[in-house]
Structure 1
Amino acid sequence: MADRITTYAEFWPYYLREHANPWTRTIHALGTALGLALLVVGLLAGPWWLIPAAVVVGYAFAWGSHMLIERNRPATFTYPAWSLYSDLRMAWLMATGRLGPELAKAGLR
């Protein structure tokens, strides 16, 4: 990626293409779900250390899938806010069965 992306509308298809392998998306969604579960439990019932653990778990799954499966650099390092939002968006679309059309628009099957 030579040029910096300046809008989220440009970023979203790029993000999806960086997650082209279905296993990467699955591992991301699993890490997101586990991270969110730890966050909710940590906020509602404690112990407090579950809150930072939620962040570690979420990113460990995501970054691990980029290193081991996609073999690319996570977009988080360049676009942290858009990447977090996109991870949540992708996980939600996967969970609701609506990711397919988004992948097709990004040029993936």
Structure 2
Amino acid sequence: MKKQYQNFTEFYPFYLSEHNNKTCRRLHFVGSLLIVMLCCYVLLSHHVQLLWAVPLIGYGFAWFGHFVFEKNRPATFQYPLYSLLGDWVMFKDMLIGKIKF
């Protein structure tokens, strides 16, 4: 039975606990960075048809990290919206050095 989190602030520590493996965190970071780069390219080039790749890149890198390195089931399966937000907060926290890269 999945825990019911009242808000993202409650959820985020759980989310981080699911990302103990450094390689998994790095794969999340790379996937998120590639999404940012792709979205910038789409904005500049107007090749909107490339946006189909956003979920493939984001989930592809993250899920590979979870299944191969973290050896757990991605939180996305139980908490899709909080997990999506968690990806971007963790990305920001890694960028500013709050979370070890």
TM-score (norm 2): 0.88
Q: Distance in 1 between matches of 2:99 and 2:41?
A: 28
Q: Which amino acid aligns with 1:65?
A: G
Structure 2 residues not aligned, in runs of 5+:
none
Q: Counterparts in 2 of 1:1-109, with a 5 A limit? A: 2-99=2-99
Q: Distance in 2 between matches of 1:2 and 1:40?
A: 36
How many angstroms apart in 1 are the aligned matches of 2:97 and 2:3?
A: 32
Normalised by the length of structure 1, the TM-score is 0.82
Note the C-alpha offset of 1:34. Answer: 0.3
1 CA distance for matches of 2:62 and 2:3? 24
Question: CA RMSD, aligned part only?
Answer: 1.6
**Structure 1 spans left out of the alignment, 5+ residues:** 101-109
Contact in 2 for aligned 1:31/1:61 (Cα 8 Å): yes
Q: CA deviation at 1:2?
A: 4.5
Distance 1:44 1:55, change over 3 A: farther
Percent same amino acid among aligned pairs? 39
Shifted more, 21-30 versus 50-59: the winner is 50-59
- Corresponding pairs, count: 100
Moved more, 12-21 or 2-11: 2-11
**Which is further off, 2-11 or 31-40?**
2-11
State whether residues 12 and 86 of structure 2, in contact with CA within 8 Å, keep that contact through their aligned partners in structure 1: yes
Instruction: Give 4+ residue runs of structure 1 displaced > 3 Å after superposition.
Output: none
CA distance, structure 1, for counterparts of residue 72 and residue 64 of structure 2: 10
Which letter maps to 1:24? Answer: C
3-state SS of paired residue (1:99): coil
